[in-house]
Structure 1
């Protein structure tokens, strides 16, 4: 079962990267009517949340700067950004590197109980599945936004 989970991470992240490939900063910063954010935020959000779920960021992972939570965490939005915002290229490189780290997670970890249940999830494997669901959801948001980019 663990092989399938990590294969799904490859498939999902590969499709995610394919959808953001070739976007320019202007396209990525466009916020369509009816959306709370833009594609740039979506990319950073997926990166940040996957790091939180899979690597315990920010306490157990130092692969991303701490300010990513303020930029891309739940409830944030580009309209509130100030200071240095990472480029699309940097975020894309970080997504690729993150996939490599995810694939190095020992399969035995998937059965480990979480110290505290999260959204009804009790094991690390269930949390990994949530990370995949979350990334797929935001991939759909990006797909919709790209159709509306002027």
Structure 2
């Protein structure tokens, strides 16, 4: 799991760079031909990780239902994300890694409920969920690299 966590941390640090390099207007801009924006992708990977790791393990995560409803799969931006919401997402991006690592080290994850993802991956173990999470975050980082060309 050390490698899995290392990949996840590296990915999340790449996401953090978007907060430093883009203005609030740029983070919120949905370029023509796209369904979402930079900030939605960041919110989405946070929500997806909590769902994949915690919900599938039958545990409560660390984010609100409101956040889940804004960024879960199948949603798209409904308005402008505010500076305070950006601050919250930025904080969650890193703090959730620490919390998840601690929960993993403390053997908090006991059960896992299998799931077939929307892209056809059959997750049967917690390790599958962590690996898929890294794959999923890589996909969304790619989307963001494309979006940034148009903001």
One fold, TM greater than 0.5? yes
> Which residue of structure 2 lines up, in the alignment, with residue 93 of structure 1?
91
Give the 5 Å matches for 1:1-150. Answer: 2-56=1-55, 60-78=59-77, 80-81=78-79, 87-106=85-104, 114-119=112-117, 120-149=122-151
Task: Give 1:108 shift.
Answer: 9.2
* Aligned pairs, number: 145
RMSD, aligned α-carbons:
2.8
Worse-matched range after superposition: 3-12 or 41-50? 3-12
Give a deviation string over 1:64-117, Cα, whole Å, max 9, x none.
Answer: 111112210111111x359989621210111111111222243696x9763334
**1:82–1:5 Cα change, 3 Å:** closer
Residue deviations 1:94-143, cap 9 Å, x none? 1111111222243696x976333433121110111010011111111111
Question: Secondary structure at the residue paired with 2:15?
Answer: helix
Distance 1:71 1:26 in 2: 18
Which stretches in structure 1 are left out of the alignment for 5+ residues? none
